Amino acid sequence: MVVLRAGLCPGLTEEMIQLLRANGIRTVVDFVSSDLEDVAQKCSLSYKALVAVRRVLLAQFSAFPANGADLYEELKSSTAILPTGNPSLDQLLDSGLYTGEVTEFMGAPGSGKTQVCLGIAASVSLSLKQHVLFLDSTGGFTASRLYQMIQAQTEDEEEQAALQRVQVVRVFNIYEVLSALQELRDRLSQQVMSSVGHLKMVLMDSVSAVIYPLLGGRQSEGLALMMQLSRELKTLAREFSLAVVVTNQVTRDSSTGPLKPALGRSWSFVPSTRVLLESKEATWEKATTQHVASLAKSPRQPTGIQVELDIG
Amino acid sequence: MQREVGALPLAPALRARLAAAGFQTAQELLDTGPCGLSKEIGISKEEALEALQVVRQECHGDAARAAGGSGATRKCTALELLEEEQTQGFIITFCSALDNILGGGVQLTKITEICGAPGVGKTQLCMQLAVDVQIPECFGGVAGEAVFIDTEGSFMVDRVVDIAAACVQHCHLIAEAQQEEDHQKALETFSLESVLSHIYYFRCRDYIELLAQVYLLPEFLSEHSKVRLVVIDGIAFPFRHDFEDLSLRTRLLNGLAQQLIIIANDHKSAVVLTNQMTTRIGQSQSTLVPALGESWGHAATVRLILHWDSSQRLATLYKSPSQKESTIAYHITSHGFRDVQPPAVTPDAGGAEGNPRKRPRREEEKQ
């Protein structure tokens, strides 16, 4: 619904816009879908000029269809699979995290979501030497734990360099998240390599913490903002070949019902892969805990696979 | 810098009108100007001016960030965060086993939640922490002040006097044993009166007062910049009874949690909350779980559950980003929180005394 404005394309002048508006053509969609001969007659504008303007507007605003084979070739060359550093998790995810997709880890409190994210960040930063952006919305990012994980994987002095490749942004409400993602998009599209480096992964812990305060009640804009966030994440993943990882909470329908992922059905279409993390004990009184990951949604593997995770 | 209109913090009705009129990016809004804007979407000139001010602020914030200045944003590398964390202090609890499982004590810039059945010692621990945060740095403390927000009315001043007196006594004994000059200097300002005068007490009777207090807290904290601990004793109490609309409760609690995280982060203080326990009835057995539901469990970064085991009080670290889960035993004496076996080195042997003030453990309360 873009309004016609002077300067939108060469040849679209202010008088033209006034004449068009007088005849009920306000937006680009109206212009492109109307019969140009008719318009030329009613507004007394030249037919050639209108055709030229329409061509430019179509080039600017429409999407171009792509050949399936070309798309496959492009994906083959641009998609990378990033191993998570945890062999059982890699097995669950069909050898790792795919770039160009959004992967979600969900679980109850204390089930290990932040630990898994830290492990992934450590592995990508250390073994693959790629930059990682960590958006922390819960305050749960502990640099000393990340340092511990990195130290466990290597003995040399690469630890400092690995830590420098992980950039942490603390965002505590939805607008800060959106502006941080927008800023990332600007930087990547301008290709400023110095600060961003070879950014391959964006981790967001957790996405439900910033969206929950907006949902529910009689406000409907919470859903709109949630969809805006999902659009930003997916565009980033697809356009710049990043792997996006988010964490989510789980809720219950009633106090005894089964666990289901938070944020509802609208969010369930956003991630392509969903992993549920659970800690095996039902009560908190036992001393040993084991973490189990099961695949809830995946485009490549059968769902329902379970593996045991070892979180250091 | 093409910020989309949908991503700007404007009122929803205004946003809907802007979208209907065809504005897509913030740049278009700024180009139109307030008069053009008020004509296009039919709002008054003052509203248009206000909206444009908000937009301009956002765009300038973006521009400043892109130029390399990172003053206002909370962005840094993990290496810088590690250095920050290593120099940060902890608030000790005087029970060394508890400090060990927490990784040194209650961490600053994080939210710690203490859950437990009635009478197990949550308020006692809060009062202990409110005193311990004021220990001077040469004795291993943080030298900060404390804000105590009470919703249940369980804050007893004479108990705080006991705990504070024991703490001051402990520091005097250390100073005598070690005989260093800065210890003596610090002790001049660390006395019972100063401890009590640096605990700022607020009493909130229902959830609206609590929400208002938390949202007004940043102003208070910017005036009193030495505050390093915010305690909310009884966050469950105002939210548990008389709430018909549970989705409203979830939304309010989540908003509260985010606000507390912002406070903890910006003012470098620890936030401690106490929560009650509720029973979850399962298929074959019923278990005690922390109250306020599943979504509240994600709000706190560190979760400590205090419980009974016959007549011994135990503390379990249930959720922590950097420590393993473990359980230890503790005692509450007339001096406050202490270990079960007092370590041989410390001069005060307040470990295993019976306390006439401690509530007697009755059989009916056993879970």
Helices (H), chain B: 12-21, 26-41, 45-66, 78-87, 96-101, 122-132, 157-178, 181-189, 192-197, 207-223, 237-240, 246-266, 293-296
**In this predicted structure, what is the pLDDT of residue B62?**
61
Considering the domain architecture, whether residues B192 and B110 belong to the same structural domain is answered as: yes
| Residue B246 belongs to some domain of the structure | yes
Q: CA–CA separation, A173 vs A214, rounded Å?
A: 10
Q: To which CATH superfamily is domain A77-309 assigned?
A: P-loop containing nucleotide triphosphate hydrolases (3.40.50.300)
Q: CB of B260 within 8 A of CB of B210?
A: no
Is residue B82 included in any domain, yes or no?
Answer: no
Using a 10 angstrom Cβ sphere, with 0-12 exposed, 13-18 middle and 19 or more buried, the burial of residue A267 is buried
Tally of domains within chain B: 2
Q: What is the pLDDT of residue B219?
A: 92
Instruction: Specify whether the CB–CB gap between A281 and A80 falls below 8 A.
Output: no
Query: Between A and B, how many CB-CB pairs are < 8 A?
Result: 181
Say if residue A268 is preceded by a cis peptide, omega within 30 of 0: no
For residue A213, give how far its alpha carbon lies from the nearest alpha carbon of chain B (Å).
5
Is residue B359 in a domain?
no
Structure-block tokens of residue A128: 């693959």
User: Do B219 and B110 fall into the same domain?
Assistant: yes
Q: Which residue has the tokens 């109307």?
A: A34
Residues B51 and B199 in one domain: no
The answer to whether the CB atoms of B318 and A110 lie below 8 A apart is yes
CATH number of the CATH domain containing B142 = 3.40.50.300
Decide if pLDDT at B357 tops 70.
no
Phi, psi dihedral angles at B313 (to 5 degrees):
-85, 135
The pLDDT of residue B363: 40
Predicted confidence at residue B147, as pLDDT, reads: 94
| Nearest C-alpha neighbor of A248 from the set A145, A103, A89, A133 | A103
Specify whether B253 is located in the same domain as B298: yes
How confident is the model over B81-92, as pLDDT tens digits? 888 888 888 888
The pair of three-digit structure tokens given for residue A97, joined into one six-digit string: 């995290």
For residue B72, is it within any domain? no
Q: Nearest CA of chain A to the CA of B264: how many Å?
A: 9
**B161 and B44 inside one domain:** no
Q: Quick check: is B71 in a domain? A: no
Tell me which DSSP letter residue A2 carries.
Answer: P
Report the distance separating Cα A127 and Cα A86, nearest Å: 12
B10, B152: one domain? no
Same domain, B284 and B148: yes
Which residue type occupies A237? A
| The length of chain B, given as a count of residues | 367
Chain B, window 67-96: residues with a beta carbon less than 8 angstroms from a chain A beta carbon? 73-79, 81-82, 84-86
pLDDT in tens, chain A (312 residues): 677 777 677 777 778 778 887 777 777 787 888 888 888 888 777 888 888 888 888 887 888 888 899 888 888 888 888 888 888 888 888 888 988 899 999 988 878 888 889 889 888 888 888 888 999 888 888 888 888 888 887 766 777 888 888 888 888 888 888 888 888 888 887 765 555 567 889 999 888 888 887 776 666 778 888 888 999 999 989 888 889 999 998 887 766 677 788 888 888 889 999 999 888 764 454 445 678 888 888 888 888 888 887 765
Supply the pLDDT for residue B213. 93
Interchain proximity B301–A138, CB inside 8 Å: yes
Whole-angstrom distance, CA of residue B40 vs CA of residue B151 = 50
Provide the edge-to-edge strand list for the sheet that holds B270-275. Answer: B199-203, B145-150, B227-233, B270-275, B111-116, B302-309, B312-319, B327-333, B336-339
**What is the pLDDT confidence band of residue B65, given thresholds at 50, 70 and 90?**
low
Angle between helices A36-43 and A47-61 (to 10 degrees): 130
Q: Closest partner residue to B82 among A143, A220, A249, by Cβ?
A: A143
Specify whether the CB–CB gap between B320 and B278 falls below 8 A: no
Taking residues B40-68, report their average pLDDT: 72
d(CA A285, CA B308): 11
Residue B190 shares a structural domain with residue B233: yes
Q: What local confidence, expressed as pLDDT, does residue A161 receive?
A: 82
Let me know whether B283 and B139 are in one domain.
yes
Cα separation of B37 and B21, whole Å?
Answer: 10
pLDDT at B345 over 50: no
To test the contact with chain B by mutation, choose from A14, A113, A142 the residue with the greatest count of B C-beta atoms within 10 A, namely: A142
Task: Report DSSP state, residue A27.
Answer: B
Give the number of other CB atoms < 10 A from CB of residue B292.
21
The pLDDT value given to residue A280: 72
Does B79 contact A175 at a Cβ distance shorter than 8 Å?
Answer: no
**Chain A interface includes B19 (CB < 8 A):** yes
Do residues B100 and B54 share a domain? Answer: no
Alpha carbon B101 to its chain's center: 19
For residue B201, the distance in angstroms to the closest alpha carbon of chain A comes to 26
Phi, psi (5° rounding) for residue B282?
-95, -165
Bridge partners of B308, per DSSP, are B313
| Cβ within 8 Å of A, B 256-295 | 257-258, 261-262, 264-265, 280-282, 287, 294-295
- Predicted confidence band of residue B68 (pLDDT cuts 50, 70, 90): very low
Q: What are the CB-based long-range contacts (under 8 Å, 24+) for B307-310?
A: B307/A285, B307/B116, B307/B117, B307/B120, B307/B367, B308/B117, B308/B120, B308/B361, B308/B365, B308/B366, B308/B367, B310/B366
Instruction: Choose the closest CB to A251 out of B257, B294, B316.
Output: B294
Residues β-bridged to residue A205: A136
**Would you state the pLDDT for residue B217?**
92
The structural domains of chain A, with segments of one domain joined by +, span: 14-61, 77-309
CA distance B357 to chain A (A): 29
User: Could you say which of A110, A165, A178 has the minimum Cβ distance to residue B7?
Assistant: A178
Q: Provide the domain limits for residue B14.
A: 5-64
- Strand-pair partners of A104: A246, A274
pLDDT tens per residue, range B191-214: 888 888 999 999 998 889 999 999
Please tell me whether residues B117 and B197 are part of one structural domain. Answer: yes
User: Which of B7, B79, B280 shows the shortest C-beta gap to A160?
Assistant: B79
Q: Is B138 found in the same domain as B276?
A: yes
CA distance A200 to chain B (A): 16
Q: Which residues of B touch A284 (CB under 8 A)?
A: 305, 316, 318
Q: B140 vs A27, B31, B91, B347, CA distance in Å?
A: 68, 57, 9, 17
